[in-house]
Amino acid sequence: ASASASASASASASSGVSVSSSKGGERWATVGARRSIRRGLDKADLERFAEFVASEQGVNSLLNLEHIRAYDQLGERRYRVYCGSFKLLSWYVEPVLDLEVTWRNGSCVLETRSCEIQGASPKVREQNRRFKAFYRYKIEWGVDPQDTKTAYVQTGGELSMNLQIYTFPFTRLPLSAVEAPGNKLMQALLRYLLPAFLDSLIADFSEWRDEELGEPGEAKEAGGSSGSSSSSSGGGGGGSGGDGSGTAAAT
């Protein structure tokens, strides 16, 4: 049986908080958002879903392998994701994220540990010191306590970014002039990214489950492989992240 449609969704945006640096009076703005969504799952699939998330195919799905250029495995739980290049103004840039995946009983957390923008121009590399971004997805699954006949998969997402305010006319404006529209942008990103991430994860699980059960016709071949420099077509960002800095990679 396949995963059922959306059961519930809730969202809340984090407030912008101004941050002042102790060096030279630098001004920083903080923007961010939080959101969570839930999908139904057959109760009989709970154990299989836990197996899938910890499997090679599950890691590929968590890293959104179909929409990144490649990744390197840095350790047992850490991955360096190359999101694919795109043109920004007159430069080609590529976000590169270091992600950590942590599995716990009944949950899995995907979060950034570092981020940088790579590009040929020194001006592109200079921007890395002017922002810090972070995202975190927590995937949970279990039996609905209000209806023990129903199981669920839930994802909570958090995006945040610190931006140095150093260009005119923004240096003359209050931080709220940057934070208010920035928070709305983050909310819009999560409204798009989070459902896409969770629906893709459940679809990949369904294909993996059908392959494991030997059911013909429904499952397509699993794309990509884990390990060093696993490549995939597509130029979007890696997916929906503790401590440390990273990026909210929008695909």
pLDDT tens per residue across all 251 residues of the chain: 444 434 344 433 343 333 333 345 788 999 999 999 999 999 999 999 999 999 999 999 999 888 888 889 999 899 999 988 877 666 778 888 899 999 988 899 999 998 888 887 787 778 778 888 898 999 999 998 888 888 999 999 999 988 888 888 888 889 898 899 999 999 998 999 899 999 999 999 999 999 988 865 444 444 444 444 444 433 334 443 333 333 333 33
CB atoms within 10 A of CB 103: 15
Helix (H) or strand (E) holding 182: helix 176-213
Q: By three-state DSSP, how is residue 186 classified?
A: helix
pLDDT score recorded for residue 213: 85
Please tell me the distance from the alpha carbon of residue 246 to that of residue 114, in angstroms, as a whole number: 4
pLDDT at 14: 40
SS3 state at 112:
strand
Helix (H, G, I), strand (E, B) or coil at 48: helix
* Rounded Cα gap, residues 8 and 247, in angstroms: 27
- The three-class DSSP label of residue 216 is coil
Q: For position 153, what pLDDT does the model report?
A: 96
Contacts of 76 (CB under 8 A, 6+ apart): none
pLDDT of res. 234: 38
pTM equals 0.71
Of 81, 48, 51, give the one whose Cα is nearest residue 226. Answer: 81
The neighbour count for residue 213, using CB atoms within 10 Å, is: 10
Nearest to 160 by CA among 19, 11, 30, 22: 30
